[in-house]
Amino acid sequence: MNTIECIKSRRSIRKYNQTPVGEDVINKIMEAAVHAPSSGNLQDWEFVVVRNQTTKKKLAEACYNQEPVDKAPVVIVVCSDSNRSLKYGERGRNLYSIQNSAAAAQNIMLAAWEMGVGSCWIGAFDEMEVANAVILPSHVRPLAIITLGYPDEKPNPPKRWGLKDVVRWERYE
């Protein structure tokens, strides 16, 4: 699958069959994550890969009971280490860390899709509950949760804005 095809065909998968995602597949996905770009090459991301059902249940509760978190075979908590991002002060913590983690999360989802594994980005969660569920140190902040598993659904493509609606050339007019 080429990159553009992967980007255009990827869907948010919220229903998974219970086929386990092998550790070799997870490692390839995580390898893609750590090859994401980061501000000043901070590489301030941290990842917690969760397969334990008890921990997934706690994460689902922290995500306001979103079912995909509880039912997915794998859940990845994408985090930022503020000890690294603070190199750039508050802008590093409040902006760069989010951008860097978002780039890594996108790589996770695209690599997964290329290998036939579905994913869904979960952004609605209580940070403190997530941190407690996976025992994060105080300098590591959870920024995104990605569910992974083999799809048990085939969602239709969502409607997208056309380029003429969102792309401006040279200036915004």
Is the Cβ–Cβ distance between 148 and 77 less than 8 Å? no
Helix runs in the chain, H state only:
3-9, 23-33, 53-62, 67-71, 82-85, 89-91, 97-114, 127-133, 163-166
Q: Is residue 15 part of a domain?
A: no
pLDDT at 173 over 90: no
Q: Is residue 147 part of a domain?
A: yes
CATH of the domain at 78: 3.40.109.10
Is the Cβ–Cβ distance between 103 and 87 less than 8 Å? no
Which pLDDT score, from 0 to 100, does residue 80 have?
96
Domain count, the chain: 1
- Per-residue pLDDT tens digits for 41-63: 999 999 999 999 999 999 999 99
- Judged on CB neighbours under 10 Å (0-12, 13-18, 19+), 11 is middle
- Where is average pLDDT lowest: 32-36, 90-94, 103-107, 137-141? 90-94
In the chain, helix, strand, coil percent, each to 5?
Answer: 45, 20, 35
H/E segment holding residue 48: strand 45-50
Q: Is residue 86 part of a domain?
A: yes
Q: Is residue 52 part of a domain?
A: yes
Q: Is residue 9 part of a domain?
A: no
Whole-angstrom Cα distance, residue 77 to residue 147? 9
Structural domain range at position 139: 23-116+124-151
- Per-residue pLDDT tens digits for 153-165: 999 999 999 999 9
Q: Is residue 13 part of a domain?
A: no
Highest mean pLDDT among 73-77, 89-93, 94-98: 73-77
Which pLDDT score, from 0 to 100, does residue 93 have?
87
Task: List 70's β-bridge partners, or say none.
Answer: none
Percent residues over pLDDT 70 in the chain: 100
Percent residues over pLDDT 90 in the chain: 94
State if pTM tops 0.85.
yes
Whole-angstrom Cα distance, residue 33 to residue 136? 19
Which pLDDT score, from 0 to 100, does residue 87 have?
87
Q: Is residue 166 part of a domain?
A: no
Is the Cβ–Cβ distance between 69 and 107 less than 8 Å? no
Kindly compute the dihedral angle of the four CA atoms of residues 71, 77, 78, 81, in this order, to the nearest 10 degrees: 170
Q: Is residue 76 part of a domain?
A: yes
pLDDT at 37 over 90: yes
Instruction: Give me the chain's average pLDDT, please.
Output: 96
- What type of residue sits at position 2? N
